[in-house]
Amino acid sequence: MSRNTKNSSHAHTVLPVFPALILTILIHFSAPGFVQAETWYVAPSAEIPIRSGQGSQYKILAVVPSGLGVKIVQEDDPWVRVRTPGGTEGWMLKRYLSNEPPLTEVVTGLRSRLEKLQQDREVTDQKYQDLLTAFSRNEQELNTCIRERDETKIEFTSLQEDTADVIRTKKELNEKTRQLENARKELTGLRRKIGELERNAAVKWFLAGGGMLFAGILLGMIHKRSRKRKSSLY
């Protein structure tokens, strides 16, 4: 027999099993008295026995105190089949159960919640203090930045004024330098003219002196001749 034939035969054998299994599960879950396990609590009273069957004639499997939470796995009014936290399963009268937690458990839960809230409050208070500290530090840094900004602004304004003074002083210096250069040029021209005048005056004085000397010599010669003529007349 080939492998495909074996697989086909196995599939024909297995496939009918699944519907039967599903049907069995549905019948089991839909049977009267079956419920999904949920937690109920033993009502405040004396300790309640859990028996192996529905009746006082059945063996007591365990005795549960009031307030204990048990799981209801099956109901058959007025009895219910329960499972304890320790794993014991048995029957007990449903009137001894309540779906409300006992006051002791409620109080315990409230205390736990209160402790949790107190812890959360302490954490929140600490975070609040940390935020206040950070805010104060940031506020101080902000004030420092504002003060430094104002100081920088004043320094910048002063620097601008100083820069304007420097520019104005530089312009004035350039103007004075230009005027001084012009004065130097004028002084150099005047010196040159004075030199020329002095040279011209020296020449004139030299010429004047030479002329006076020549005139004196000429007058002397004329005077000498005049005397000679007078001598000859006598």
Which two tokens mark 60?
């007591």
Handedness of CA 218, 221, 227, 233 (dihedral sign): negative
More confident residue, 5 or 206: 206
Kindly calculate the radius of gyration of the chain based on its CA atoms and give it in whole angstroms.
Answer: 68
CATH for 7-102, options being 1.10.3720.10, 2.30.30.40, 3.20.20.10, 3.90.1010.10: 2.30.30.40
Amino acid (one-letter) located at 189: G
Model pTM score: 0.34
Angle CA 157–161–164, to nearest 5:
140
Q: Which residue has the tokens 């000679």?
A: 228
Query: What is the share, in percent, of the chain residues with pLDDT greater than 90?
Result: 15
Residue 11 reports pLDDT greater than 60: no
209 membership: H or E segment, kind and range: helix 103-233
pLDDT in tens, 150-192: 888 888 888 888 888 888 888 888 888 888 888 888 888 888 8
pLDDT of residue 36: 55
Q: Name the residue type at position 4.
A: N
Which pLDDT score, from 0 to 100, does residue 101 have? Answer: 74
With 60 as the cut, is the pLDDT of residue 24 above it?
no
Amino acid at 207: L
pLDDT in tens, 73-87: 998 989 999 999 989
